[in-house]
Chains A and B, each alone.
Chain A
């Protein structure tokens, strides 16, 4: 059974850093892209970024303009974990963060983790 489990959310002060983890199981982790999206309170979904498959695309990364230069996505395929390193956090980064992968449909987000809340507040 394919599963994605997130961890690492919490309360953090503006300007500080936080790292989220997304652990996969039930599939060959290195073969699939991992994406991060978020939903701020009362708002819609926003794509944050992705890291492509190590096996097929060398683990290249893309980011939304709103987080580029502050957020970094990485992966450790030996542990089946994807990371979202968030630096210089702003209050507007407060959101539920979701990781997801594209297994069946290749490019769309067909498996999602449960989400983890990040609150940026002084």
Chain B
């Protein structure tokens, strides 16, 4: 089983600040990694797939990078609606989600 770890567990930032979220895989997943945003009471939303491709309708302030075992999701300037939990997910071998990073308002 491929295990994903995310850091930090919580990120406290203000609107307008830059957010940098990390995801590390226990073994190489090549570029087979996605990022999802999940808000309370809503369904998860796909943001980034194949490590760096934005999904349909996702604003340009969201970007993804990395390959192999280390990945990053960057939100260039936080909007009020971006405060949520973010999960990485690998599909290199079946699927696994990371434990999530909560981005909350400072």
Contact = CB atoms under 8 A, between A and B. Distances in A.
Interface in B8-28: none
Interface of A: 35, 37, 44-47, 50, 62, 64-65, 98, 104-105, 107-110, 112-115
B99 interface: yes
Contact of A46 (B38, B50, B55, B97): B97
Interface size class on chain B is 20 to 34
Interface in B42-74: 43-44, 46, 49-50, 53, 55-56
Given A108-B91, A110-B55, A113-B43, 13 more contacts: A35-B95, A45-B38, A47-B95, A47-B96, A50-B95, A64-B94, A98-B44, A104-B56, A105-B55, A107-B32, A107-B49, A114-B43, A115-B43
Given A105-B55, A108-B34, A108-B91, A44 B97 contact: yes
A47 B43 contact: no
- 8 closest A-B pairs by beta carbon, nearest first, are A112-B43, A47-B95, A45-B97, A44-B100, A108-B49, A108-B34, A105-B49, A110-B46
Interface of B: 1, 32, 34, 36, 38, 43-44, 46, 49-50, 53, 55-56, 85, 87, 89, 91, 94-100
Nearest to A63: B94
Nearest to B41: A115
8 contacts: A44-B99, A45-B97, A104-B55, A108-B46, A108-B55, A109-B89, A113-B43, A114-B43
